[in-house]
Amino acid sequence: MKDLAVASGTATRSEALIAPLWAKIIEIAPEAAGVSTYWLEFEDKAVRDRYRFAPGQFNMVYLPGYGEAAISISSHPGRPERIGHTVRFVGNVTRAISRLKRGDVLGLRGPFGVGWPLADHQGRDVVIAAGGIGLAPLRPAIYHILNHRADYGKVTIIYGARTPSDLLFRGEYDAWSEKGMEVLITVDRGDEDWTGQVGVVPILFYRLRLEAERSMLLTCGPEIMMRFVVFEGLARRIPQERIFLSMERNMKCGQGFCGHCQLGPYFICKEGPVFRFDQLAGFFNVENF
Partner 1 sequence: MSKDQTLQEILMAIPWFQQLSRDHLDLLAGFSHLVEVPQGKDLFKEGEAEDYLYVVINGRISIEIFAPGRGRLSIYTAEPLDVVGWSSVTPVVRQRTASARAVLDSRLIAMDAVSLRRLCEGDCALGCIVMRRIANVVAQRLLVTRLQLLDLFANPEQHEVHA
Partner 2 sequence: MPEIKLYLGSRVAIRKPEFDRLLANLAQAGYQTIGPRVKDAAVVYGPIGGLRDLPQGVTSEQTAGYYRLKPSGNERYFDLTAGPQSWKQYLFPARSELFKLAKENGNWREELLNQATPKYAFIGVRACELSAIEVQDRVFLRDDFSDPIYRQRREQVFILAVDCLHPGGTCFCVSMGSGPAAKQGFDLKLTELDEVFLLEVGTQAGLDAIQDLSVESLAIKWQEDAARCLAEAARSMGRFIPDIKSVPDLLLNNLDHAEWDEVATRCLNCTNCTQVCPTCFCWDVEDATTLDGKTTQRSRVWDSCFNPAFSGLAGGNIRPNTKARYRQWLTHKMSTWVDQFGVLGCVGCGRCITWCPANIDITEEIKAIRVGARE
Contact of residue 265 among partner 1, partner 2, none (CB under 5-8 Å per partner type) = partner 2
Confirm if 246 and 221 have CB atoms less than 8 A apart: no
53 binds partner 1 (CB under 8 A): no
Cα separation, 6 vs 249, whole angstroms? 22
What part of residues 158-177 is at the interface with partner 1 (CB under 8 A)?
160-162, 166
What part of residues 129-148 is at the interface with partner 1 (CB under 8 A)?
131-132
Closest contact distance (angstroms) between CB of 92 and partner 1 is 12
Nearer to partner 1, 219 or 279 (CB): 219
Cα separation, 178 vs 223, whole angstroms? 31
Burial 89-111 (b: 16+ CB within 10 A, else e): eeeebbeebbeeeeeeebbbbbb
Among 139, 181, 180, CA closest to 31? 139
What sections of the chain are H helices per DSSP?
A: 2-7, 45-50, 92-97, 135-147, 173-178, 223-235, 277-280
Closest contact distance (angstroms) between CB of 64 and partner 2 is 5
Cα separation, 119 vs 150, whole angstroms? 13
| 59 to 98: interface string for partner 1, x by CB under 8 A | -------------------------------x--------
**Omega within 30 of 0 (cis) for the link into 137:** no
Contact of residue 262 among partner 1, partner 2, none (CB under 5-8 Å per partner type) = partner 2
Among 224, 235, 241, 278, binds partner 1 (CB under 8 A): 224
Residues of the shown chain interacting with partner 1 in the complex, contacts defined by CB under 8 A: 34, 90, 131-132, 160-162, 166, 186, 188-192, 194-200, 202-203, 206-207, 221-222, 224-225, 228
